[in-house]
Structure formats: structure tokens, C-alpha cells
Structure 1
Amino acid sequence: MSSNFYQTSILPFASIIIKICRAYTHSQEDFEDYYQEVCLQIWRSKDNFREQCTWSTFVYRISLNVCLTLLKKKKRNGRTYFTSDVLPDMLLTENKAFEDEPLNQLYTAIRHLSEVDRALILLYLEEKPYQEIADILSTNVNNVAVRVNRIKERLKKILDEKFN
């Protein structure tokens, strides 16, 4: 991958990639592996970009697909995988990507959601318009609106139970 491509096409969207990778990993090592794989897949897929969507939508789709694929592969291979219910607190605080405590609480709650709901709420938190979220997740705007409200209620309940 050329440094020019990384500088112009990946780095401006690094926050997107980081947030998605973080929502699907529980350790610094996995986070770094996922981030690297997402960047590699964006580079490999760059010639498939046909401008039918924005570049950020393209990056989101690749990031989500790579993370979900790696997550399924990890589960299939029987590697130790912590669910959100048994994730050791020290694992979150020992790693650089997991140092901000209020953010850790939010990500812990997000990990209680299904894989698709995680993706949806991350896009919502990025303040993406419902239409763009619908495009990324291949659904319709009404479905996005209903699911966002249900997810917000679920997250509030999880946070209330866990931290109050």
C-alpha cells in the first residue's frame, strides 16, 4: 500500500475505522489486527469503488464487513472470545485504545448489542444521516429510525443496570 493512498484515502477516515474495529474487539492486539486488515481490504478494494456512494460509505461498508468476517472466523476457530458479559475489566483498562472510562462504559454497553445493531448505533453516533445509514446497511430509512430508537432504549437500560 502506498503511503500516498494511506494519507489521502484511509487516514481521513481513520476515526471511522477505529470506532468500528473497537466495537468488535476486546483487546489492543485484536484491535490492531482488525484495523490493519480493514486498511488492507480498503486498499485491495479501491479499484471496485464505482462512485455509486461516497468514499466514506465505501469505507464503512468494508470496515463492517471485515470486522464481521473476522469475528465469525474467530468464533469458528474456537479462539477464546470474551462476550460482553464476561469481558474482564482489566482487559479494557490495560490497552491504549481502551483508556477513556466513560467511553469504555459506552462500548461495553454497545457490545451487548447484536452485531448489526452495533454497526447501526456506531453510524448513528457518527451523526450519519438515516439515508446514509440505510445505504451502508442495505435497509430502508424507516427501519433505521425504528431500530435507532429501540437501540437507544436498550443501551440506556444496559447502562442503568450496569452502572447505577
Structure 2
Amino acid sequence: MHGQERQQVFEKLLREHQRIVFKVVSVYARHPDDRNDLMQEICVQLWRSFPRFDEKRAQFSTWMYRVALNVAISQVRRQPSQGARIEPLQQHHLDTIGDTQGVPDYDERIEALYGFIDQLDHLNRALILLYLEDRSYRQIADILGISETNVATKISRIKQKLRSQMTGVEPAGA
């Protein structure tokens, strides 16, 4: 595939899967300037990595998640002073993550869930983002480069921690 054709294919795939980038950016950056910077950096890295994308080894969405999450985690790690710019998740953040219209029980519990997610470390935040996207353990493992067993264990621990935080009851063995 040569330059112009490659660019057209890339732009088409990026448009088709742009929600992946929006979701990753929404989870890892709170300040509008940080979101814009992260969005641009992810798109640049996707373009740079596109020649190495092999559709026989992975779906485009899996590959895109892998690149986007790696860029987001790397950028957050490079900017330890970012903590001063983190905002608590508000309704406008949740709107960028997913459409909540028509959801009958949308209330403080959803905001508490996103507040909980915001407190997770980078890997667990990526893991729960993919889990909430209804990705299979195999897909999550492929994207994050960990075993399916590790995915299952981490998700179980996150659920226990969330359950105890939401109910105020400490899990056994904690």
C-alpha cells in the first residue's frame, strides 16, 4: 500500500473507531488542554504505528486500544505534576464517556463508580474501561499484554474493592 492509499485507509479506520480514542482520553485526562494534547498524541502514534498494523494478528479496534492506552499511560507517567490539574468527574465528563440519556437509574451511584475508576492505577483503569466495554477476557488480555487469568483476577479484585467501597463493608482477607 502506498502513501495516499495508506492515508485514506487509516483515516477511514480512525473515523470508524474514533470512540475508542475519545473513551481513553476521557478516562486518562480531565483538563480540556490535557484531553486535546492526549488526543493529538494518540492520533500521531496511531499514524506512526499504522505501517506495522497486521490485520491477520489483531482486529483494528484491539490494536487501536493497545496503542491508545500505551500512549495515555506513558503520558500520565511523564507528567507527575498532572495531579494539580485533575478534576473530579462531572456530568460533562460522563457524557464524553457514554450517552446516559434514557438510562432510568442514572444517579449518584454512576458518579461514584466513575469516581472509583478515577482512583485506580493506570493498568486497572485501562482494564475496567475495557471490561465496561464488554470486551472478552481474551480481548482485554490481548490489548493489555497480560494473561486471561491475570485479567480475571484483577477484575475480581476491582469488583471486591468497589463492592466494599460502595457498601462500606471490607472484603474478607483485606
CA distance in 2, matches of 1:11, 1:45: 17
Is 1:37–2:44 an aligned residue pair?
Answer: no
**In the alignment, which residue of structure 2 is the partner of 1:126?**
133
Considering only CA atoms, is the larger Rg found in Structure 1 or Structure 2?
Answer: 2
Cα-to-partner distance string for 1:115-140 (whole Å, 9 max, x where unaligned): 11111111111111111111111111
In structure 1, the residue matched to 2:147 is: 140
Counterpart in the other structure of 1:25: 29
Deviations 1:85-127 (A, max 9, x none): xx554xx44x944557755433221021111111111111111
Identity of paired residues, percent?
32
Q: Distance in 2 between matches of 1:64 and 1:109?
A: 19
- Residues 8-61 of structure 1, C-alpha deviations (whole Å, 9 max, x = no match): 111222222122122111222211211121112111111011221111111011
Give 1:50's match in structure 2, choosing from 49, 54, 71. Answer: 54
Provide the aligned length of Structure 1 versus Structure 2: 152
Which moves more between the two structures, 106-115 or 53-62?
Answer: 106-115
Give the letter for the 1:41 counterpart.
Answer: Q
Relative to the length of structure 2, the TM-score reads: 0.74
Over aligned residue pairs, what C-alpha RMSD do you find? 2.7
- Contact kept? 2:21, 2:68, Cα under 8 Å: yes
Unaligned segments of structure 1, at least 5 residues = none
